[in-house]
Amino acid sequence: MNNTTRKFIQQALIAVLCLFVEHYAFAASPFTTGSGALSTDLLATLTPVAVIAVMALGAFAWFGRISWGVAVMCMLGIVLVFGAQQVVTWTRGLFGV
């Protein structure tokens, strides 16, 4: 068996292996399920903390301890963190993905 034939067989085997691996790459793994549950639990736990943080930011800005710009940017960051899934869903729907 010459070198060219050996390379062809190796490349064909790699191609077939890649076709079979693709099936497993799209399968849901226990890690995906666990990380999704952790994300849901973390958001549920941090929701009251975020509400208190927004109230504290508003109070600090009201009494002049921080600027209104900083308070609004922090509140916007909190909204984006908790609304990230809705933003992604909306963007995917906008582009038809």
Query: pTM of the entire structure?
Result: 0.54
Neighbours of 14 (CB within 10 A): 10
- CA contacts within 13 A on the Cβ side of 30: 0
Q: In the prediction, which pLDDT does 73 show?
A: 92
pLDDT along the chain (97 residues), means of 10: 84 82 64 76 88 91 91 89 85 86
Asked if residue 57 lies in contact with residue 66, where contact means CB atoms within 8 angstroms, the answer is yes
Q: In the prediction, which pLDDT does 19 show?
A: 73
